[in-house]
Structure 1
Amino acid sequence: MNAPLLYIEDDHEIGSFVCQHLQEQGYEVHWQKSGEGAVLSAAGCRLVILDVMLPGLDGFTIGQRLKKAAPDIPILMLSARTSIDDKLQGLQFADDYLTKPFHPDELTARIEVLLRRTGSRNAEPLAIKHLLVHEQQNRIENRETGEEIPLTGKQFHIFSYLLRHLGQILTKEQIYEGVWGEAFIEGDKTLMVHIRYLREKIEKNPAAPEIIETVRGIGYRVRA
Protein backbone atom coordinates (compact mmCIF):
# COMPACT_ATOMS: atom_id res chain seq x y z
CA MET A 1 0.00 0.00 0.00
CA ASN A 2 2.80 2.45 0.88
CA ALA A 3 6.43 2.85 -0.09
CA PRO A 4 9.04 1.69 2.45
CA LEU A 5 11.12 3.66 4.94
CA LEU A 6 14.89 3.76 4.45
CA TYR A 7 16.78 3.26 7.73
CA ILE A 8 20.56 3.83 7.83
CA GLU A 9 22.17 2.61 11.08
CA ASP A 10 25.41 0.66 11.59
CA ASP A 11 24.72 -0.52 15.15
CA HIS A 12 23.25 -4.02 14.83
CA GLU A 13 21.47 -4.06 18.21
CA ILE A 14 19.82 -0.66 17.77
CA GLY A 15 19.03 -1.35 14.12
CA SER A 16 17.37 -4.69 14.85
CA PHE A 17 15.29 -3.18 17.65
CA VAL A 18 14.11 -0.21 15.57
CA CYS A 19 13.34 -2.35 12.50
CA GLN A 20 11.29 -4.80 14.53
CA HIS A 21 9.34 -2.00 16.20
CA LEU A 22 8.55 -0.22 12.93
CA GLN A 23 7.55 -3.45 11.22
CA GLU A 24 5.19 -4.18 14.11
CA GLN A 25 3.64 -0.77 13.44
CA GLY A 26 2.95 -1.83 9.85
CA TYR A 27 5.86 -0.14 8.08
CA GLU A 28 8.07 -1.78 5.51
CA VAL A 29 11.69 -0.94 6.32
CA HIS A 30 14.84 -1.12 4.19
CA TRP A 31 17.79 -1.20 6.59
CA GLN A 32 21.30 -0.25 5.47
CA LYS A 33 24.36 -0.38 7.72
CA SER A 34 26.24 2.39 5.89
CA GLY A 35 25.45 5.41 3.78
CA GLU A 36 26.99 3.91 0.66
CA GLY A 37 24.50 4.17 -2.17
CA ALA A 38 22.00 6.00 0.06
CA VAL A 39 20.84 8.38 -2.68
CA LEU A 40 20.02 5.44 -4.96
CA SER A 41 18.37 3.49 -2.11
CA ALA A 42 16.17 6.46 -1.16
CA ALA A 43 14.47 6.47 -4.55
CA GLY A 44 10.89 5.34 -4.04
CA CYS A 45 11.05 5.58 -0.22
CA ARG A 46 8.63 7.60 1.87
CA LEU A 47 11.09 8.75 4.51
CA VAL A 48 14.74 8.36 5.55
CA ILE A 49 15.80 7.63 9.14
CA LEU A 50 19.48 8.49 9.33
CA ASP A 51 22.02 7.92 12.09
CA VAL A 52 24.80 10.48 12.45
CA MET A 53 27.70 8.19 13.41
CA LEU A 54 28.31 5.90 10.45
CA PRO A 55 31.36 4.21 8.96
CA GLY A 56 32.85 6.24 6.13
CA LEU A 57 30.83 9.35 5.42
CA ASP A 58 28.94 10.67 8.45
CA GLY A 59 25.20 11.18 8.56
CA PHE A 60 25.44 14.93 8.10
CA THR A 61 27.22 14.55 4.75
CA ILE A 62 24.90 11.78 3.61
CA GLY A 63 21.84 13.75 4.68
CA GLN A 64 22.91 16.81 2.72
CA ARG A 65 23.39 14.69 -0.40
CA LEU A 66 20.01 13.01 0.09
CA LYS A 67 18.17 16.29 0.54
CA LYS A 68 19.84 17.76 -2.56
CA ALA A 69 18.98 14.69 -4.67
CA ALA A 70 15.46 14.16 -3.29
CA PRO A 71 14.20 17.32 -1.53
CA ASP A 72 10.67 15.96 -1.10
CA ILE A 73 11.70 12.92 0.97
CA PRO A 74 11.67 13.80 4.70
CA ILE A 75 14.77 13.00 6.73
CA LEU A 76 14.71 12.13 10.44
CA MET A 77 18.15 12.30 12.05
CA LEU A 78 19.02 10.01 14.97
CA SER A 79 22.04 10.85 17.10
CA ALA A 80 23.59 10.44 20.52
CA ARG A 81 24.95 13.96 20.05
CA THR A 82 22.84 16.29 22.15
CA SER A 83 24.66 19.62 21.74
CA ILE A 84 22.71 22.50 20.23
CA ASP A 85 25.41 22.93 17.55
CA ASP A 86 24.92 19.35 16.35
CA LYS A 87 21.16 19.76 16.29
CA LEU A 88 21.40 23.01 14.35
CA GLN A 89 23.79 21.41 11.88
CA GLY A 90 21.40 18.51 11.35
CA LEU A 91 18.33 20.70 11.04
CA GLN A 92 19.91 22.69 8.23
CA PHE A 93 18.81 19.86 5.94
CA ALA A 94 16.89 17.34 8.08
CA ASP A 95 13.18 17.63 8.85
CA ASP A 96 13.54 16.42 12.45
CA TYR A 97 16.31 15.46 14.90
CA LEU A 98 15.81 12.85 17.62
CA THR A 99 18.48 12.20 20.25
CA LYS A 100 19.41 8.78 21.61
CA PRO A 101 18.27 7.08 23.73
CA PHE A 102 14.67 7.46 22.60
CA HIS A 103 11.42 5.63 23.25
CA PRO A 104 10.22 3.68 20.17
CA ASP A 105 6.77 5.24 20.46
CA GLU A 106 8.31 8.70 20.15
CA LEU A 107 10.13 7.59 17.02
CA THR A 108 6.86 6.30 15.54
CA ALA A 109 5.04 9.51 16.47
CA ARG A 110 7.69 11.67 14.81
CA ILE A 111 7.63 9.53 11.67
CA GLU A 112 3.86 9.85 11.47
CA VAL A 113 4.06 13.64 11.86
CA LEU A 114 6.64 13.91 9.08
CA LEU A 115 4.63 11.67 6.76
CA ARG A 116 1.47 13.68 7.38
CA ARG A 117 3.30 16.95 6.87
CA THR A 118 5.07 15.98 3.66
CA GLY A 119 2.76 13.38 2.21
CA SER A 120 -0.71 14.85 2.57
CA ARG A 121 -0.21 17.18 -0.39
CA ASN A 122 0.14 14.32 -2.87
CA ALA A 123 -1.34 11.29 -1.14
CA GLU A 124 -4.30 9.78 -2.93
CA PRO A 125 -7.23 8.89 -0.65
CA LEU A 126 -8.06 5.21 -0.35
CA ALA A 127 -11.58 4.12 -1.32
CA ILE A 128 -12.99 1.26 0.77
CA LYS A 129 -16.68 0.52 0.12
CA HIS A 130 -18.49 3.80 0.91
CA LEU A 131 -15.48 5.30 2.70
CA LEU A 132 -12.78 7.62 1.47
CA VAL A 133 -9.74 7.39 3.75
CA HIS A 134 -7.25 10.27 3.80
CA GLU A 135 -4.70 8.39 5.88
CA GLN A 136 -2.00 11.06 5.87
CA GLN A 137 -4.54 13.59 7.16
CA ASN A 138 -6.10 11.23 9.73
CA ARG A 139 -9.48 11.85 8.12
CA ILE A 140 -12.29 9.60 6.86
CA GLU A 141 -15.36 10.66 4.96
CA ASN A 142 -18.47 9.01 3.62
CA ARG A 143 -18.05 9.45 -0.11
CA GLU A 144 -21.78 8.97 -0.71
CA THR A 145 -22.74 11.91 1.52
CA GLY A 146 -19.47 13.85 1.63
CA GLU A 147 -19.65 13.98 5.43
CA GLU A 148 -16.59 13.46 7.60
CA ILE A 149 -16.74 10.51 10.03
CA PRO A 150 -15.20 11.56 13.36
CA LEU A 151 -12.99 8.91 14.95
CA THR A 152 -11.04 8.99 18.18
CA GLY A 153 -7.26 8.80 17.88
CA LYS A 154 -7.25 5.16 18.99
CA GLN A 155 -10.03 4.23 16.56
CA PHE A 156 -8.16 5.78 13.66
CA HIS A 157 -4.92 4.08 14.78
CA ILE A 158 -6.64 0.68 14.77
CA PHE A 159 -8.25 1.27 11.37
CA SER A 160 -5.01 2.63 9.92
CA TYR A 161 -3.12 -0.43 11.18
CA LEU A 162 -5.63 -2.71 9.47
CA LEU A 163 -5.34 -0.68 6.26
CA ARG A 164 -1.56 -1.01 6.28
CA HIS A 165 -2.16 -4.77 6.10
CA LEU A 166 -5.00 -4.57 3.59
CA GLY A 167 -6.41 -7.97 2.76
CA GLN A 168 -4.39 -9.75 5.46
CA ILE A 169 -5.93 -11.56 8.40
CA LEU A 170 -4.45 -10.09 11.58
CA THR A 171 -4.65 -11.78 14.96
CA LYS A 172 -5.89 -9.92 18.02
CA GLU A 173 -2.36 -10.18 19.39
CA GLN A 174 -0.84 -8.52 16.30
CA ILE A 175 -3.32 -5.66 16.31
CA TYR A 176 -3.08 -5.03 20.04
CA GLU A 177 0.70 -5.09 20.08
CA GLY A 178 0.87 -2.95 16.92
CA VAL A 179 -1.50 -0.28 18.23
CA TRP A 180 -0.86 -0.27 21.97
CA GLY A 181 2.79 -1.35 21.85
CA GLU A 182 2.17 -3.87 24.64
CA ALA A 183 1.76 -7.63 24.84
CA PHE A 184 -1.83 -8.83 24.48
CA ILE A 185 -3.29 -10.49 27.56
CA GLU A 186 -5.64 -13.34 26.77
CA GLY A 187 -9.19 -12.45 27.74
CA ASP A 188 -8.66 -8.69 27.44
CA LYS A 189 -11.75 -7.18 25.76
CA THR A 190 -10.22 -3.75 25.04
CA LEU A 191 -9.64 -4.35 21.34
CA MET A 192 -13.04 -5.95 20.86
CA VAL A 193 -14.76 -2.94 22.41
CA HIS A 194 -12.82 -0.50 20.22
CA ILE A 195 -13.66 -2.53 17.10
CA ARG A 196 -17.34 -2.47 18.05
CA TYR A 197 -17.40 1.32 18.45
CA LEU A 198 -15.36 1.73 15.26
CA ARG A 199 -17.86 -0.35 13.32
CA GLU A 200 -20.74 1.74 14.66
CA LYS A 201 -19.13 4.75 12.99
CA ILE A 202 -17.88 3.37 9.67
CA GLU A 203 -20.18 0.46 8.78
CA LYS A 204 -23.54 0.96 7.10
CA ASN A 205 -24.86 -1.90 9.22
CA PRO A 206 -22.60 -2.61 12.23
CA ALA A 207 -24.47 -5.87 12.87
CA ALA A 208 -23.40 -7.12 9.42
CA PRO A 209 -20.03 -5.44 8.86
CA GLU A 210 -18.65 -5.25 5.31
CA ILE A 211 -15.46 -3.31 6.00
CA ILE A 212 -13.90 -4.81 9.14
CA GLU A 213 -14.44 -8.54 8.79
CA THR A 214 -14.23 -10.88 11.78
CA VAL A 215 -12.33 -14.06 10.99
CA ARG A 216 -13.66 -16.43 13.62
CA GLY A 217 -11.05 -17.84 15.94
CA ILE A 218 -8.26 -15.71 14.43
CA GLY A 219 -8.85 -11.97 14.31
CA TYR A 220 -9.87 -9.29 11.82
CA ARG A 221 -9.33 -8.23 8.23
CA VAL A 222 -10.14 -5.30 5.97
CA ARG A 223 -10.68 -6.59 2.45
CA ALA A 224 -9.12 -4.75 -0.51
Structure 2
Amino acid sequence: MSIKKGGREGSLVGKDLLYIEDDREIGGWVSEFLKDKGYGVTWLTGGEKAVEAAADCSLAILDVMLPGLDGFTVGHRLKRAYPGLPILMLSARTSIDDKLEGLQFADDYLTKPFHPDELAARVEVLLRRSAAVVAEPVVLKHLTVYEDENRVVNGETGEELVLTGKQFQIFMYLFRHQGRVMTKEQIYEAVWGESYIEGDKTLMVHIRYLREKLEKNPASPEIIETVRGLGYRVRA
Protein backbone atom coordinates (compact mmCIF):
# COMPACT_ATOMS: atom_id res chain seq x y z
CA MET A 1 0.00 0.00 0.00
CA SER A 2 1.24 3.48 -0.78
CA ILE A 3 0.34 6.89 0.56
CA LYS A 4 0.50 9.88 -1.74
CA LYS A 5 -0.10 13.36 -0.42
CA GLY A 6 -0.44 16.38 -2.60
CA GLY A 7 -2.00 19.76 -3.05
CA ARG A 8 -2.22 20.72 0.64
CA GLU A 9 -0.18 23.93 0.40
CA GLY A 10 -2.54 25.41 -2.17
CA SER A 11 -5.68 23.71 -0.96
CA LEU A 12 -8.71 25.45 0.46
CA VAL A 13 -9.00 25.57 4.24
CA GLY A 14 -11.10 22.69 5.57
CA LYS A 15 -11.01 20.90 2.21
CA ASP A 16 -8.45 18.16 2.75
CA LEU A 17 -9.78 14.87 1.40
CA LEU A 18 -8.87 11.25 2.07
CA TYR A 19 -9.16 9.22 -1.14
CA ILE A 20 -8.82 5.41 -1.09
CA GLU A 21 -8.54 3.72 -4.49
CA ASP A 22 -6.27 0.82 -5.43
CA ASP A 23 -6.55 1.31 -9.21
CA ARG A 24 -3.55 3.56 -9.92
CA GLU A 25 -4.88 4.89 -13.22
CA ILE A 26 -8.24 5.91 -11.73
CA GLY A 27 -6.62 7.11 -8.51
CA GLY A 28 -4.13 9.24 -10.39
CA TRP A 29 -6.59 11.15 -12.55
CA VAL A 30 -9.19 11.56 -9.79
CA SER A 31 -6.52 12.90 -7.40
CA GLU A 32 -5.24 15.38 -9.99
CA PHE A 33 -8.77 16.47 -10.86
CA LEU A 34 -9.64 17.14 -7.21
CA LYS A 35 -6.38 19.00 -6.63
CA ASP A 36 -7.13 21.17 -9.66
CA LYS A 37 -10.44 21.98 -7.97
CA GLY A 38 -8.55 23.32 -4.95
CA TYR A 39 -8.71 20.32 -2.62
CA GLY A 40 -5.85 18.78 -0.70
CA VAL A 41 -5.76 15.05 -1.37
CA THR A 42 -4.26 12.16 0.59
CA TRP A 43 -4.46 9.13 -1.70
CA LEU A 44 -4.17 5.62 -0.25
CA THR A 45 -4.17 2.43 -2.30
CA GLY A 46 -5.42 0.34 0.64
CA GLY A 47 -7.43 0.82 3.80
CA GLU A 48 -5.03 -0.34 6.52
CA LYS A 49 -3.88 3.21 7.40
CA ALA A 50 -7.21 4.91 6.72
CA VAL A 51 -8.08 5.82 10.32
CA GLU A 52 -4.69 7.42 10.91
CA ALA A 53 -4.73 9.27 7.58
CA ALA A 54 -8.25 10.63 8.14
CA ALA A 55 -7.29 12.56 11.28
CA ASP A 56 -6.71 15.83 9.38
CA CYS A 57 -9.27 15.32 6.61
CA SER A 58 -12.72 16.82 6.15
CA LEU A 59 -14.16 14.06 3.95
CA ALA A 60 -13.33 10.52 2.81
CA ILE A 61 -13.87 9.11 -0.69
CA LEU A 62 -13.77 5.34 -0.47
CA ASP A 63 -13.77 2.64 -3.13
CA VAL A 64 -15.57 -0.60 -2.24
CA MET A 65 -13.26 -3.07 -3.98
CA LEU A 66 -9.93 -2.84 -2.18
CA PRO A 67 -7.13 -5.36 -1.60
CA GLY A 68 -7.01 -6.68 1.97
CA LEU A 69 -9.66 -4.79 3.92
CA ASP A 70 -12.73 -4.17 1.77
CA GLY A 71 -14.30 -0.73 1.57
CA PHE A 72 -17.24 -1.63 3.80
CA THR A 73 -14.90 -2.65 6.65
CA VAL A 74 -12.79 0.48 6.19
CA GLY A 75 -15.89 2.67 6.13
CA HIS A 76 -17.22 1.26 9.38
CA ARG A 77 -13.82 1.84 11.03
CA LEU A 78 -13.71 5.43 9.85
CA LYS A 79 -17.21 6.15 11.17
CA ARG A 80 -16.40 4.59 14.55
CA ALA A 81 -13.27 6.72 14.86
CA TYR A 82 -14.76 9.92 13.34
CA PRO A 83 -18.58 9.89 13.55
CA GLY A 84 -18.83 13.34 11.95
CA LEU A 85 -16.60 12.56 8.96
CA PRO A 86 -18.61 12.55 5.70
CA ILE A 87 -17.94 9.44 3.57
CA LEU A 88 -18.61 9.12 -0.15
CA MET A 89 -18.55 5.55 -1.44
CA LEU A 90 -17.45 4.72 -4.99
CA SER A 91 -18.31 1.37 -6.51
CA ALA A 92 -18.90 -0.46 -9.75
CA ARG A 93 -21.49 -2.52 -7.86
CA THR A 94 -24.99 -1.40 -8.70
CA SER A 95 -27.15 -3.85 -6.74
CA ILE A 96 -29.52 -2.39 -4.18
CA ASP A 97 -28.05 -4.68 -1.48
CA ASP A 98 -24.57 -3.24 -1.98
CA LYS A 99 -25.90 0.31 -1.89
CA LEU A 100 -27.88 -0.36 1.27
CA GLU A 101 -24.83 -1.91 2.93
CA GLY A 102 -22.71 1.09 2.00
CA LEU A 103 -25.30 3.59 3.17
CA GLN A 104 -25.26 2.04 6.65
CA PHE A 105 -22.23 4.27 7.27
CA ALA A 106 -21.68 6.32 4.09
CA ASP A 107 -23.31 9.69 3.45
CA ASP A 108 -23.48 9.21 -0.32
CA TYR A 109 -22.93 6.43 -2.86
CA LEU A 110 -21.69 7.03 -6.42
CA THR A 111 -21.52 4.20 -8.95
CA LYS A 112 -18.73 3.77 -11.50
CA PRO A 113 -18.23 4.95 -14.14
CA PHE A 114 -18.89 8.52 -13.08
CA HIS A 115 -18.22 11.97 -14.49
CA PRO A 116 -15.59 13.89 -12.48
CA ASP A 117 -17.81 16.96 -12.32
CA GLU A 118 -20.51 14.89 -10.61
CA LEU A 119 -17.96 13.63 -8.10
CA ALA A 120 -16.83 17.19 -7.36
CA ALA A 121 -20.44 18.35 -6.97
CA ARG A 122 -21.24 15.57 -4.51
CA VAL A 123 -18.08 16.30 -2.53
CA GLU A 124 -19.01 19.98 -2.30
CA VAL A 125 -22.55 19.17 -1.13
CA LEU A 126 -21.25 16.85 1.60
CA LEU A 127 -18.71 19.43 2.78
CA ARG A 128 -21.34 22.19 2.91
CA ARG A 129 -23.70 19.94 4.83
CA SER A 130 -20.93 19.01 7.25
CA ALA A 131 -19.81 22.62 7.74
CA ALA A 132 -23.38 23.66 8.53
CA VAL A 133 -23.24 21.55 11.68
CA VAL A 134 -20.97 23.59 13.92
CA ALA A 135 -20.26 21.92 17.23
CA GLU A 136 -20.09 24.12 20.30
CA PRO A 137 -17.03 23.65 22.52
CA VAL A 138 -17.64 21.15 25.30
CA VAL A 139 -16.45 21.70 28.87
CA LEU A 140 -15.18 18.55 30.54
CA LYS A 141 -14.09 19.37 34.09
CA HIS A 142 -11.08 21.70 33.59
CA LEU A 143 -10.84 21.00 29.85
CA THR A 144 -12.54 22.76 26.95
CA VAL A 145 -12.78 20.53 23.88
CA TYR A 146 -13.13 22.14 20.44
CA GLU A 147 -13.96 19.04 18.43
CA ASP A 148 -14.35 20.82 15.07
CA GLU A 149 -10.95 22.46 15.48
CA ASN A 150 -9.12 19.41 16.86
CA ARG A 151 -8.13 21.38 19.96
CA VAL A 152 -8.13 20.74 23.69
CA VAL A 153 -7.60 23.68 26.03
CA ASN A 154 -7.04 23.88 29.76
CA GLY A 155 -9.97 26.11 30.63
CA GLU A 156 -8.37 27.29 33.88
CA THR A 157 -5.10 28.48 32.35
CA GLY A 158 -6.12 29.06 28.73
CA GLU A 159 -3.23 26.86 27.61
CA GLU A 160 -3.75 24.71 24.53
CA LEU A 161 -2.69 21.14 25.28
CA VAL A 162 -0.46 19.78 22.54
CA LEU A 163 -1.29 16.13 21.84
CA THR A 164 0.31 13.76 19.37
CA GLY A 165 -1.87 12.38 16.58
CA LYS A 166 -2.43 9.06 18.36
CA GLN A 167 -3.07 10.74 21.72
CA PHE A 168 -5.70 12.99 20.16
CA GLN A 169 -7.38 10.08 18.36
CA ILE A 170 -7.53 8.02 21.56
CA PHE A 171 -8.93 10.91 23.59
CA MET A 172 -11.52 11.85 20.97
CA TYR A 173 -12.65 8.24 20.59
CA LEU A 174 -13.26 8.03 24.35
CA PHE A 175 -14.69 11.57 24.43
CA ARG A 176 -17.27 10.71 21.75
CA HIS A 177 -18.35 7.72 23.83
CA GLN A 178 -18.52 9.55 27.16
CA GLY A 179 -19.73 7.45 30.05
CA ARG A 180 -19.28 4.17 28.15
CA VAL A 181 -16.53 1.71 28.95
CA MET A 182 -14.55 1.06 25.77
CA THR A 183 -12.44 -2.08 25.66
CA LYS A 184 -8.79 -2.08 24.70
CA GLU A 185 -9.75 -4.03 21.60
CA GLN A 186 -12.31 -1.40 20.52
CA ILE A 187 -9.95 1.52 21.09
CA TYR A 188 -6.99 -0.14 19.39
CA GLU A 189 -8.98 -1.15 16.32
CA ALA A 190 -10.53 2.31 15.97
CA VAL A 191 -7.23 4.18 16.31
CA TRP A 192 -4.69 1.84 14.74
CA GLY A 193 -7.06 0.16 12.29
CA GLU A 194 -5.91 -3.35 13.16
CA SER A 195 -6.67 -6.09 15.65
CA TYR A 196 -5.45 -5.77 19.23
CA ILE A 197 -2.95 -8.42 20.36
CA GLU A 198 -3.39 -9.45 23.99
CA GLY A 199 -0.45 -8.28 26.09
CA ASP A 200 0.49 -5.39 23.77
CA LYS A 201 1.40 -2.39 25.96
CA THR A 202 1.19 0.25 23.21
CA LEU A 203 -2.25 1.56 24.19
CA MET A 204 -1.40 1.58 27.89
CA VAL A 205 1.72 3.67 27.23
CA HIS A 206 -0.26 6.17 25.14
CA ILE A 207 -2.90 6.45 27.86
CA ARG A 208 -0.21 7.15 30.45
CA TYR A 209 1.31 9.98 28.40
CA LEU A 210 -2.16 11.30 27.58
CA ARG A 211 -3.02 11.51 31.27
CA GLU A 212 0.19 13.42 31.96
CA LYS A 213 -1.06 16.11 29.58
CA LEU A 214 -4.77 16.13 30.42
CA GLU A 215 -5.08 15.32 34.10
CA LYS A 216 -4.50 17.68 37.01
CA ASN A 217 -3.06 14.71 38.88
CA PRO A 218 -2.12 11.83 36.55
CA ALA A 219 -1.78 9.50 39.54
CA SER A 220 -5.45 10.11 40.38
CA PRO A 221 -7.11 10.66 36.98
CA GLU A 222 -10.45 12.46 36.77
CA ILE A 223 -10.80 12.52 32.97
CA ILE A 224 -9.76 9.08 31.69
CA GLU A 225 -10.82 6.33 34.07
CA THR A 226 -9.45 2.77 34.04
CA VAL A 227 -12.16 0.19 34.53
CA ARG A 228 -10.20 -2.81 35.72
CA GLY A 229 -10.57 -5.87 33.57
CA LEU A 230 -12.66 -4.03 30.98
CA GLY A 231 -10.97 -0.95 29.50
CA TYR A 232 -11.21 2.84 29.74
CA ARG A 233 -13.82 5.55 29.73
CA VAL A 234 -14.08 9.30 29.82
CA ARG A 235 -16.32 10.21 32.69
CA ALA A 236 -19.43 12.05 31.57
TM-score by length of 2: 0.57
Q: Is 1:220 paired with 2:220?
A: no
The separation in 2 between residues aligned to 1:46 and 1:16, in whole angstroms, is 15
Alignment of 1:48-127 (within 5 A): 49=88, 78-81=110-113, 86-95=115-124, 118-119=130-131, 122-127=134-139
Q: 2:189 aligns with which of 159, 177, 195?
A: 177
Q: Deviations over 1:18-71 (max 9, x none)?
A: 5643454363xxxxxxxxxxxxxxxxx984645577579xx9xxxxxxxxxxxx
CA shift at 1:164, angstroms?
1.5
CA contact (8 A) 1:214 1:221 kept: yes
CA contact (8 A) 1:133 1:139 kept: yes
CA shift at 1:119, angstroms?
3.7
CA contact (8 A) 1:172 1:191 kept: yes
The separation in 1 between residues aligned to 2:177 and 2:86, in whole angstroms, is 19
Q: 1:160 aligns with which of 169, 172, 191?
A: 172
Alignment of 1:179-194 (within 5 A): 179-194=191-206
CA contact (8 A) 1:26 1:178 kept: no
Q: What one-letter code is carried by the residue in structure 1 that aligns with 2:116?
A: K
Counterpart for residue 5 of structure 1: none
Q: What one-letter code is carried by the residue in structure 1 that aligns with 2:73?
A: F
The separation in 2 between residues aligned to 1:150 and 1:126, in whole angstroms, is 17
TM-score by length of 1: 0.59
Q: 1:201 aligns with which of 203, 210, 213?
A: 213
Label 1:141 to 1:95 Cα distance change in 2 as closer, same or farther (>3 A): same
Label 1:86 to 1:182 Cα distance change in 2 as closer, same or farther (>3 A): same
Counterpart for residue 77 of structure 2: 21
CA contact (8 A) 1:119 1:136 kept: no
Counterpart for residue 24 of structure 2: none
The separation in 2 between residues aligned to 1:88 and 1:158, in whole angstroms, is 37
CA contact (8 A) 1:140 1:149 kept: yes
Percentage of pairs with the same residue:
53
Label 1:21 to 1:78 Cα distance change in 2 as closer, same or farther (>3 A): farther
